[in-house]
Amino acid sequence: MKICVLNGSPKIKENSVTMHYLMYLQKKLPEASFNILNVANMVNRLEQDPGAYQEVMSSISNSDGIIWGFPLYYLLVSSQMKRFIELVAERKSEPAFHAKPAAAITTSIHFCDNYALKYIREVSEDLGMKFFDAYSAGMYDLNNAQERDRLEAFARNFLDFVKQGSAVPPQTLPLVYRPIELDLSSKPAANRPTGKKAVIITDEREEDRNLRAMTAYLKSAFGDQADVVNLRSIKINGGCLGCLHCGYDFTCVYDGKDEYRSVFEARISPADMIILAGSIHDRFFSAKWKQFFDRSFFHNHTPMLEGKQVGIVISGPFRQMGNLRMLLQNYFEVQKANLVDMVSDDYPEVEPVLAGLRNLADRMRSLAEQNYRAPQTFLGIAGHKVFRDAIFGGLRFPFVRDYLHYKKSGGFDFPHRNWKNIFLSGIMMLLTRIPNMREEIYTKRLISGMTNPLKKIVEQEKALDE
């Protein structure tokens, strides 16, 4: 049985954590032959050399099944793998993938792996593949015998699935997008000036008419004072290589060689309001946008957008893309930014789009003046805890700068340091061992115990009003 493994790590298989999981499986499952293709590492060549691209497509066509093997990169696949997926669509190579059984094996620290797993299923099903399942391994799981068994069971089940040629109904609904035409010259009423700085980051090209119209409209709404950074006109030499040089002191191997860091530090970091603008390419923004996210890894796991107001402007079928919406909310919550709204052109009329853009600009300006940040939901709180535990534990080295930041800023906020709570809970747990006390506490005192401290605050406030 021929299995084609599409390696989504920017690193070649010998240097990739993820590919060691696949090389392990090859040893365990000699009945299948695993052909590992470093598609992310060689994506520039695949773009420029039609022969090399054709060779990859032939390997895919001639295989019995495909495994997308990739590391999590910023809640998704790496920008290099994203570009590979885009090339397939641009070059109309979908037939090579059609009806192939597919699975995904990914490694990560489980930070937002759910979005990447959903993304790769959506992409596979859009390509007409029969998607079996996705397996999310922790990056060091291979050291553990139980985890190795679990991984092997997953792979064996996949091979059975390939052998049996089982049919699976797709979970993904195809995207439907009938773009309206926005007028490039529409302008909102002029807004009063504000002392707050705005930057619009976009990847628009000449042909992205609606995106251009939306960013132009927003720029006017910010009194033409917003800076505009077009990712396609700044020099970015490549995607994140996963080399981790940045771990010690945030130094990136691209520093001084391209403009990414200088643009980030001079034009994006000082802004109070940041608008991200992009078009939908497959189930995310473009690979260019993904490159922008991935390269921000020079700042490791330390939030870099804290306190900023963020707006997102999207051209494409965004209202049908729940996974992307949630991914964005999760990312900005963990960044401790305030995600104000996400506006798309996915409407049958122009008016809701313009109203959405007007509201977005007004709310961003007003919230920036109030320094408002919405409370984090589960997404931000859970994300922080995954990072906190990783930086305190297994990732303390090599992420030295992260560790110092978390230590200094109170990021290691483990509940076992809440001595008052530990002490009071201890006493209450002792008391509940006495049956009469237990009865009294659970039937008469618990509810009032929860609301009494709040009542006090409300009553104090009333007193101030009077």
Ligand X SMILES: Cc1cc2nc3c(=O)[nH]c(=O)nc-3n(C[C@H](O)[C@H](O)[C@H](O)COP(=O)(O)O)c2cc1C
> What residues make contact with ligand X under the rule CB under 6 A?
9, 11, 16-18, 71-75, 107-113, 139, 240, 242, 294, 297
Given a contact cutoff of 8 angstroms between Cβ atoms, the answer to whether 134 and 117 are in contact is: yes
Beta carbon of residue 96, minimum distance to ligand X (angstroms, whole number): 24
Residue 69 or residue 316: which is nearer to ligand X going by CB? Answer: 69
Q: Which helix (H) or strand (E) holds 309?
A: strand 309-315
In angstroms, what is the minimal distance from the CB of 382 to ligand X? Answer: 12
Residue 418 exposure: Cα atoms within 13 Å on the Cβ side: 8
Nearest distance, CB of residue 2 and ligand X, angstroms? 22
CB of 19 to ligand X, least distance (A): 6
Burial of 4: CB neighbours in 10 Å, binned 0-12, 13-18, 19+: buried
What span, in angstroms and rounded, lies between the C-alpha atoms of 71 and 16?
Answer: 9
The nearer residue to ligand X, 365 or 405, going by C-beta atoms, is 405
In the complex with ligand X, the residue whose CB is nearer, 36 or 211, is 36
d(CA 243, CA 121): 28
- CA 410/CA 418 separation, integer angstroms: 13
301 versus 308: smaller Cβ distance to ligand X: 301
What are the residue ranges of helices labelled H in 37-144? 43-48, 50-61, 79-90, 113-126
18 vs 210, beta carbon nearer ligand X: 18
Q: Of the two residues 286 and 315, which places its CB atom closer to ligand X in the complex?
A: 286
State the nearest-atom distance from the C-beta of 387 to ligand X, in Å. 9
Least Å from the CB of residue 405 to ligand X = 17
Residue number, 16 or 323, with CB nearest to ligand X: 16
Please spell the DSSP secondary structure of 330-358, one letter per residue: HHHHHTT-EEEEEEES-SSSSHHHHHHHH
Minimum distance between the CB of residue 12 and ligand X, rounded to whole angstroms? 10
> Phi-psi category of 128—alpha, beta or left, where left has phi over 0 and alpha has psi -120 to 50?
left
Residue 410 Rama label (left phi>0; alpha psi -120 to 50; beta): left
Q: What is the crossing angle of helices 322-334 and 113-126, to 10°? A: 160
